[in-house]
Structure 1
């Protein structure tokens, strides 16, 4: 039997859940399928903290930040859940773009202030600050473990069909999209008017046979060339708090040249995860992985370097008492997202370790693409 559906969203992580929410608000018939169970830890959308770091100066991202702050508020009110802890975010280090970031955010009505390292250290003594400090009080930490169920619950209340433990094992494009689902109930063949692909590290695996020569082929001669996606296993750690009186904002530390940054892999991000400690990690430099064959074990050299970082720059933690954690990044070459459409296929991919803060906006943008309302900005087009 061939089931005919309107819009199938493939992948029930952050972006797929937000797309289902946004589409259901428009009265669309939505079926969301996720190969794993609720709250799984196989991808990128688990855990209780993600920084909402407003530190952007590009106009497309700044506009998304302003919209996102309003949408997170709206989602909190609609769901009755607290999803954002407004601790503020501090970015520091010899980063030349801080002035441009402050100017762009202030113009958009997002607050900023510059502090000296000494002033910042008085406020947040658990962190040793480096050269210059940009404080963004509208930032904070989002809770994926609360946000994903909220998106899905609200979508289901508007009629969306949310199916966990349902894997798409075949994906073919013609005038519509032919899908084969596998679940405990058996195998089901589905024809969808359109599919929204939000499969994270599984994106290229899922599209598999629909890719020809690096391009996704739609009906007729339409093609969508997709930037190469690099899937990595990222390995932050939760360090035990040693200074119980310290106050913790979210933070990002940007390195410069010189001996004191010699063993750095990337900028460092961090935040307080209640009940687990201070989360800190390198950004997007973990080992390349197959999402179905992950070890979940930290790369020891990078982990040792992260401990050294904590020993030097985080006086409020115990660098020798930690719990390593694991997630995936799916990264584009320029770290800009892919939000585009070809024929009946909408793709949201390549969120490059900085997408979660934009989740409800990306849901709206994917819904725009699925309903033909408006295209995404050029920097997110697959053919850029």
Structure 2
């Protein structure tokens, strides 16, 4: 392992792995360091399913979405495996937003359709609906574990060096240019210099930066969706998002928006979005909230006739949430930061890897929406949690 490299990537989850691939395939020298071993369960990139939900209206996200839609298929072809299964995706609960999204998506090249309740329940027999439904056929599920391993294999084949079990303990932007990182591995400490570093350390981002750069606040939460067992005859399960309105008779305690999908071999994954306890990622309790799991069971009993609410297993992952729930994709001289993906970043992974690579190469500027120096006028994350009675 060289102690002086062109590009050093800190954090080998999905975002760091995609950035390594983008840089390596452009012919650059890349060293990727990941503190944990392959397949670990400590961050936000493990598990077998993440929704590919194209329901965005802001142009910044639509551009990323359009690019990711192409890149997932290209990377699947390169890796010789299908990373994105296009099962379709449905959103329901807020009709006005769904109709607006239907118009926006048509202009962005994503077909969608509006289904009335009866048509939606006939097509998707494992679910019940309370409003008109927006169905997006291009949506589906990404295999997160397979995506990370495939991105790393392709990056390695393109010349990137990938080291697991290597923890960056200190990071310093040097006055004369470049970055110096102290790395702990196998009981030894080594200093590595890089012309440019890309920090994609998820929940550990602020810890590594210390006070060197000003970032928007990042709140790390531990989330616990569950897999419910399926019952009855096999049915088609799209991915789904349900915006429950507590003012309506929702049938269960509302901790936030609901998301879900079919995880082959495990059942139907259902979770509250961004409702977990705020934690220190270095001392993660891996403890599910009994009240929130019980509320998911109540939700399933009312809205998911295709599952058994009494038969489930919990899943654990982290979100690194900015207060406006927009990403941080920005440059600080010889340091590029990708962080704050707020539980909705995985669908964009290959496009974000390309974006971060181009930031590091000086081929693009950070957009205001993703700037680390932006002012946050509406703290959506905190407001939503407050309305749900969460600390």
TM-score range, shorter chain: over 0.9
Question: How far apart are the structure 1 equivalents of 2:313 and 2:147?
Answer: 24
Aligned residue for 1:134, secondary structure, equals strand
1:245 aligned to which of 234, 243, 246: 234
4+ runs deviating over 6 angstroms: none
Aligned position for 1:334: 324
C-alpha contact (below 8 Å) 1:237/1:281 kept by paired residues: yes
Q: How high is the TM-score relative to the length of structure 1? A: 0.94
Q: Deviations over 1:214-266 (max 9, x none)?
A: xx1xxxxxxxx310000000010000001232210000001124242362111
| Structure 1 gap segments, 5+ residues each | 217-224
Aligned position for 1:226: 215
Aligned residue for 1:96, secondary structure, equals helix
1:40-189, aligned counterparts within 5 Å? Answer: 40-174=40-174, 175-184=177-186, 186-189=188-191
Question: How far apart are the structure 1 equivalents of 2:178 and 2:63?
Answer: 33
1:267 aligned to which of 257, 260, 264: 257
Deviation at 1:356, TM superposition (A): 0.2
> Is residue 26 from structure 1 mapped to residue 16 from structure 2 by the alignment?
no
RMSD, aligned CA:
1.3
Deviation at 1:343, TM superposition (A): 1.0
Q: Deviations over 1:28-77 (max 9, x none)?
A: 10000000011111000000100001111111111211111101110011
Question: How far apart are the structure 2 equivalents of 1:259 and 1:305?
Answer: 16
Q: Name the count of aligned residue pairs.
A: 371
Question: How far apart are the structure 2 equivalents of 1:257 and 1:202?
Answer: 34
2:356 aligned to which of 358, 366, 384: 366
Aligned position for 2:298: 308
Q: Deviations over 1:65-122 (max 9, x none)?
A: 1111101110011111110111000001134311221111101110100001110100
Q: How high is the TM-score relative to the length of structure 2? A: 0.93
Question: How far apart are the structure 2 equivalents of 1:67 and 1:258?
Answer: 38
Aligned residue for 2:281, secondary structure, equals coil
C-alpha contact (below 8 Å) 1:94/1:130 kept by paired residues: no
